[in-house]
């Protein structure tokens, strides 16, 4: 089982400001948490971050045929990007959305998630732990799907 973990704009700056919203841990800690979780679970993983919408779209497109599922935190593009939504729909890979902060309790413009419409589940407000939960959920989903795919 191989997955891709995608992070959107400014997440590379984690830990430098707004600890009340995003915690004190930096992006390196996020990558380590994801890699350690995947190693424990026997999952192959690539962790990718970009500040550019088109680069994120390219990465989602390139995931088709190379990974089994996606964990994505599109960051600010969550609330604006139909292009990322369309890319997720186009590849039709199981995707789980993560937000470090609880976007449901923040500004009104953060209440909309375009990417979330193409995701099977969303974790928010759990800090970096949300990534771990998302990986475990995706693993179970893929295992179930594998089974149902082989049933007569």
Options 9-17, 36-44, 60-68, 89-97: segment touching ligand CA2 (CB under 6 A): 9-17
Q: Is 99 annotated as catalytic?
A: yes
Catalytic residue among 79, 99, 114, 131: 99
Where residue 7 falls (left for φ over 0; alpha for ψ -120 to 50; beta otherwise) is: beta
| Beta carbons of 61 and 77 less than 8 angstroms apart | no
Q: Rounded to the nearest whole angstrom, what is the least distance from the CB of residue 107 to ligand CA2 in the complex?
A: 8
User: Within positions 106 to 135, which residues make up the interface with ligand CA2, using CB under 6 A?
Assistant: 110
Say how many C-beta atoms besides its own lie within 10 A of residue 141's C-beta: 16
Q: Which of 50, 81, 101, 113 binds ligand CA2 (CB under 6 A)?
A: 101
Alpha helices, H only, the chain = 19-22, 27-41, 53-63, 82-91, 129-150
Residue 16 contacts ligand CA2 per CB under 6 A: yes
The closest alpha carbon to 81, from 102, 53, 120, 119, belongs to: 53
C-alpha to C-alpha distance for 41 and 35, rounded to whole angstroms: 10
Residue 73 contacts ligand CA2 per CB under 6 A: yes
Residue 100 contacts ligand CA2 per CB under 6 A: yes
Q: Is 22 annotated as catalytic?
A: yes
The encoded tokens of residue 98 equal 């993560």
Options 12-20, 28-36, 51-59, 111-119: segment touching ligand CA2 (CB under 6 A): 12-20
Q: Rounded to the nearest whole angstrom, what is the least distance from the CB of residue 152 to ligand CA2 in the complex?
A: 42
For ligand CA2, give the closer residue by CB, 20 or 151. Answer: 20
Residues marked active site are found at 22, 99
């Amino acid at each position: 089982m191989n997955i891709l973990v995608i992070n959107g704009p400014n997440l590379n700056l984690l830990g430098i400001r707004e600890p009340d919203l995003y915690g004190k841990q930096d992006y390196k800690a996020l990558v380590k948490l994801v890699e350690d979780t995947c190693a424990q679970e026997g999952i192959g993983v690539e962790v990718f971050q970009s500040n550019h919408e088109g680069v994120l779209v390219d990465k989602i497109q390139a995931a088709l045929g190379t990974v089994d599922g996606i964990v994505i935190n599109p960051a600010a593009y969550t609330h604006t990007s139909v292009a990322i939504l369309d890319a997720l729909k186009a590849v039709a890979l199981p995707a789980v959305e993560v937000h470090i902060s609880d976007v449901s309790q923040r500004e009104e413009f953060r209440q909309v998630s375009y990417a979330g419409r193409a995701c099977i589940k969303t974790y928010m407000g759990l800090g970096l732990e949300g990534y771990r939960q998302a990986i475990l959920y995706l693993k179970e989903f893929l295992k179930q799907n594998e089974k149902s795919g082989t049933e007569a």
